[in-house]
Structure 1
Amino acid sequence: MGLSIPSQDPRLHTLEQLRSGALHGAQRLTVRAGLRELPEEVYTLADTLEVLDLSGNELDDLPADLARLHRLRVIFCANNRFTRLPEVLGRCEALEMVGFKANQIDTVPAAALPPQLRWLILTDNRIATLPDELGRRPRLQKVALAGNRLTALPATLAACERLELLRISANQLDGLPGWLLTLPRLTWLAHGGNPFSMALEADALEHAPMPRVRWQELDVQAQLGEGASGHIYRAARTDGEAVALKVFKGEVTSDGLPLTELAACLQAGSHPQLIPAIGRLGGHPAGADGLLMPLVGAEFRTLAAPPSLASCTRDVYDPDLRLPPAAALSIAAGMADALAHLHARGLTHGDLYAHNILHDGRGQARLGDFGAASFLASVPPHQAARLRAMDVRAFGCLLEELAACCDDAAPTLAPMSTLAQACVDTDVDRRPSAEDVARAMRQLASR
């Protein structure tokens, strides 16, 4: 499901509540009221407010004294009218997460980057350059820049050894910088939809055309889920066949372009542990693109929830989830085999996460969501090897998480841990290949 903004407070607060003092002591504030400026009453929450969500208003700037909110850790200002990332953000000493998706931002001043910055979302703006100061934020873990106009990345990012997730799809990059692929913890990278890869994506769409299914031919039923790039519904075709329908949210998603995802689905081919695409949506009333997929059985459920504000880059598992060791091994073996298949087909997945895996609790699992997938042939061979190694690191993280869901006494935990450590080696070139990992997992699962 790609890059998912963590769950925000589902309760919308009103200006009346804020002005009356009814929100005294609140740690979160969510206001959608056509705001053109920040209400002065927000400062009455300065001693408690940690999360401020002002998305969906008409703001184009923030006040110079925003730093009075001295406990503020997270700010969301998506879908407003900003053309410049406000410099006052850099004076908010506790601020860790900054989200300004879908504005009209073309300028990111160095002074706008808070010293404790850990998670930056600037998806779907107009940014052509980024300041070198971005690479001088040592806590930086997660950066979403898809759908901008970047022609290069700041070379200073080479010092960000904690960076784990980067979305640079749908920009104007003519290649990947070599230093990027040696970052020791970089794991989830999406770079499709750039000039250096678009020819391959177009070729995949042209030479493996997907059947078109018109909206009018579908009986769209209940919503099954939602990811960063789209909504998924249960639907029925005219012949009565039940299918899953993914409708993309817009021209640019958190991961990149819907057409890149379509091309990757075609390139991926068929594998028992992958959720394939079986048709492409046409004739949507709002012009949206979409995919038809087989409907997975009701016994399957998502392995984990997407990362939270606290976990940042790691998925959130149900604390009560316990897996028999054999089931955990079976899931891991299936995912390793699917990953080796994708690499052999010339793709990286870019988003190998538990929240993109459906499982039945008994060891059967399916990997979906190709929104962050990228074509390996778009880069030189030595870079392709390192891109594959990033996927392998993602598998190592998954293996660690699956092991944590098992009984501590399980004899398989030690070899799982050993393999996981090899996969997450900070030396990118020392990690095993996906094919070697799949072979090792098959051996473990057969014991």
Structure 2
Amino acid sequence: MAEIHNLETLKNGGYKDAPLTSFKLTCSLPSFPLEIFEFGSTLTHLDLSGTGLSSLPANFSTALPNLKILFLSSCNFTTFPSVLSTHPNLSMVAFRSNRMTSIPEDSLPLNLRWLILTDNLLPSLPSSLGTSCPKLQKLMLSGNLLTSLPESMSSLANLSLLRLSANRFSSLPKWLLALPKLAFLSFAGNPCSAPKSSGAKTPFGLEHVPYSSLTIHSPPLGEGASGVISRADWARSPAYSEEVAVKVFRGRLTSDGTPADEMAACLAAGSHESLITVLGKIDELPAESDRGGAGGGGGGGAGETVGGIVMSLIPDDYKVLGRPPSFDTCTRDVFPDSTREVWKARGEAAVAEVVEMLIGLAGAGEHLHRRGIMHGDFYAHNVLVWKEGKHALLGDFGGATVYAGMDGRDEQEEGEEEEEEKEDKFDGSRLEKLEVLAFGWLVDDWIGLLGKETAEESAPQEKGMRKGLEELRDRCVVEDVQGRPTFEEIVEVLEGMMGWRAMMRIPEVPN
């Protein structure tokens, strides 16, 4: 966590002799403290979130020329400050949870890679966005009033992650699903993504779990932006109790979408050997005050309770594969040296284990898209790996979108030709192939973890699998979206690498 500085110390010159590269204030600010400009030659990261600022000085860009990261979330900006357009080095800007209603044309920094505008009141984006920010890789727009995207965004060749959830899109533009590097897309909570069914019923195979049958333990296993996960005992009968995990969804909006949409995707996902199994939906979940705070305290999940689910409890010997992207990597996960050492220590067996786990994860991708669900966050930091290295689970549906039954367009006007309707029909297979790109990067991550030494020292069969992984990765990451394989084809390729051993895998549970 970044150090929080003191306004009074700043005003009294207490930081003058410190060549600060990062500076953070959280106190209420009536105006921008000009004393911050004293760090102009060294400052690269400025965080004034929660201070209530509503404007920036006209000389902001020239006074802080080396600034790369600017956080102004939970402030009072109603208009994106045009002064930032001339900044030479800004690569990440966050204006989450302001009251922003407009972004003037050509007001965005040229070198922007990461832009966060979540939870504002934006009805539209500047038409010049695509040409103003050619380096843009990550764009967070959930929780606005958007109905369309500017055509210029079709030129964003580097855009990898896009969050459009909880807006007002009745369709998605065709060019969006052809962007060469778009791998992480969420658009739940829009008219175009609403399932055709009412969604009122609990999906087949899932139980209705009375809250009274659950004994929830503290402390929580984890707290996130969408809620709290706790260990619990589920009394399935007077004579039998099962240890499970319970997730209580809370809050209005996350960076990826709403907790309600995440819960809907979890319930719709069904069973697969490489997905965390959802056992049931909690009936009549009481208010937190009536639960005595059970299911977690404050934190990112604070807010109105949306609902709850019961899941299989993941054993402690499953560990997260990677860590979320850093400021520098932007859209690619990072891996500590300790993780690399673990995979190096596995020796020749590691390649076969990776292939086996990738078969399961690709199968999970096929399973989800067959059900009309886009995971939206197919990252190593959402993959749990068994300590023995032979099984992996894909988790975290915070960025998932249920697109089953969606057509991506407004209702056809009466009298239009049937052929035109067919041509305009939304092609869900393109969503799958966006996700295949994310899978290809996951394969690339694992190849990096295996390391060159493992490949050089391996037996011929393992070397062949390593080469096969590299070829598969290359097929998955081609810029021609339609030229990528489907998850079904990926499973076939991976199983071919394993030969007879692939036949020993756990079969998928029928629904």
Q: Which amino acid aligns with 1:62?
A: L
1:104 to 72, 80, 99: 99
Which of 303, 325, 328 is equivalent to 1:310? Answer: 328
Structure 2, unaligned runs of 5 or more: 289-302, 344-349, 409-424, 502-511
Deviation string 1:121-156 (CA, Å, 9 cap, x unpaired) is 101111100001211111011101011100100110
Secondary structure of 2:493's match? helix
- 8 Å CA contact 2:214–2:232 kept in 1: the answer is no
Q: 1:288 is matched with which residue: 302, 305, 312?
A: 305
Partner of 2:486: 433
Deviation string 1:166-206 (CA, Å, 9 cap, x unpaired) is: 01111101101001111111111101110122244x63343
Shift in Å, 1:112 = 2.7
Deviations 1:421-444 (A, max 9, x none): 101111111111110101111222
Give the whole-Å Cα distance in 2 for the aligned partners of 1:91 and 1:276.
Answer: 50
**Helix, strand or coil for the counterpart of 1:132?**
coil
Distance 1:41 1:211, change over 3 A: farther
The residue that corresponds to 1:77 in the other structure is: 72
State the distance in 1 between where 2:209 and 2:67 align: 48
* Equivalent residues in 2 for 1:6-45, closer than 5 Å: 9-19=1-11, 20-22=13-15, 24-45=18-39
Tell me the alpha carbon deviations over residues 320-365 of structure 1, each in whole angstroms, 9 at most, x when there is no partner: 3242222222221111111111111221211111111111231211
| CA spacing shift, 1:186–1:205, aligned 2, 3 Å | farther
- Residue range with higher mean Cα deviation, 131-140 or 213-222: 213-222
- Once residues 199 and 338 of structure 1 are traced to their aligned partners in structure 2, the CA distance between those partners, rounded to angstroms, is 21
| Aligned residue in 2 for 1:328 | 354
Moved more, 173-182 or 75-84: 75-84
> Is the contact made by 2:97 and 2:117 (CA closer than 8 Å) also made in structure 1?
yes
Q: 1:183 to 1:22 in 2, by over 3 A?
A: same
Check if 1:153 corresponds to 2:152: no
Q: Secondary structure at the match of 1:108?
A: coil
Q: Which residue of 2 aligns with 1:5?
A: none
- The answer to whether the 8 A contact 1:128-1:151 is kept is yes
How big is the shift at 1:81? 1.8
Distance across 1 between alignment mates of 2:51 and 2:229:
27
CA contact (8 A) 1:27 1:51 kept: yes
Match of 1:134 among 129, 132, 139: 129
How far apart, CA to CA, are the structure 2 residues paired with 1:296 and 1:413? 29
Return the alpha-carbon distance in structure 2 between the equivalents of residues 148 and 232 of structure 1: 28
Q: Structure 1's 123 and 320: CA in aligned 2 closer, same or farther, altered over 3 A?
A: same
- Alpha-carbon displacement from aligned partner over 1:14-57 (angstroms, at most 9, x marks no partner): 22443443372111112111223221221111111111111122
The amino acid across from 1:262 in the alignment is: M
Whether 1:365 and 2:392 are equivalent positions in the alignment is yes
- What secondary structure, in the 3-state scheme, does the structure 1 residue paired with 2:42 have? coil
> In the alignment, does 2:428 pair up with 1:384?
yes
Question: What one-letter code is carried by the residue in structure 1 that aligns with 2:405?
Answer: A
Q: Is contact 1:229–1:254 with CA below 8 Å preserved after alignment?
A: no
Describe the SS at the equivalent of 2:194: helix
Verify the 8 A CA contact 2:144 2:166 in the aligned structure 1: yes
SS of alignment partner, residue 339 of structure 2: coil
Taking the aligned partners of 1:228 and 1:397, their CA distance within structure 2 comes to 25
SS in 2 for 1:222: coil
Contact 1:210 1:266 survives alignment (8 Å): no
State yes or no: 1:348 paired with 2:395: no
For 1:11, the aligned partner's letter is E
The CA distance in 2 between the partners of 1:217 and 1:437, in whole Å, is 40
Tell which deviates more after alignment, 267-276 or 173-182: 267-276
Rate the CA distance shift 1:382–1:413 in 2: closer, same or farther, 3 A. farther
The AA in structure 1 aligned to 2:226 is: S
Distance of 1:308 and 1:249 partners within structure 2:
26
Residues 144/273 of structure 1: CA separation in 2 closer, same or farther (3 Å cut) = same
User: What's the CA shift for 1:251?
Assistant: 0.9
Q: Equivalents in 2 of 1:171, 1:53: separation in Å?
A: 27
**What SS does structure 1 have at the residue aligned with 2:128?**
helix
Residues 178 and 44 of structure 1, relative CA distance in 2, 3 Å threshold: same
- Alignment of structure 1 residues 29-428 onto 2, 5 Å: 29-67=23-61, 68-136=63-131, 137-200=133-196, 203-206=198-201, 208=203, 211=208, 214=211, 217-237=214-234, 241-248=242-249, 250-280=251-281, 282-285=285-288, 286-289=303-306, 290-322=308-340, 323=343, 324-361=350-387, 362-374=389-401, 375-379=403-407, 383-406=427-450, 407-409=454-456, 410=458, 411=463, 412-428=465-481
Greater shift after overlay, 288-297 or 227-236?
227-236
Structure 1 residues 76 and 138, CA, compared in 2 at 3 Å: closer, same or farther?
same
Aligned-partner Cα distance in 2 for 1:107–1:386: 31
Flag structure 1 segments of 5+ consecutive residues without an equivalent.
1-8
Kept in 2, the 8 Å contact 1:306–1:314? The answer is yes
Q: CA RMSD in A?
A: 2.2
Q: Distance in 1 between matches of 2:228 and 2:2?
A: 18
Q: State the alpha-carbon separation in 2 of the partners of residues 347 and 64 from structure 1.
A: 46
Query: TM-score scaled by structure 1?
Result: 0.92
Relative to the length of structure 2, the TM-score reads 0.81
- Higher alpha-carbon deviation: 324-333 or 383-392: 324-333
Q: Check conservation: 1:205, 1:263, Cα contact below 8 A.
A: no
Stretches of 4+ aligned residues off by more than 6 angstroms: none
CA contact (8 A) 1:329 1:363 kept: no
Number of residue equivalences: 438
Contact in 2 for aligned 1:273/1:366 (Cα 8 Å): yes
SS in 1 for 2:245: strand
Q: Distance in 1 between matches of 2:57 and 2:14?
A: 21
- Identity, in percent, stands at 38
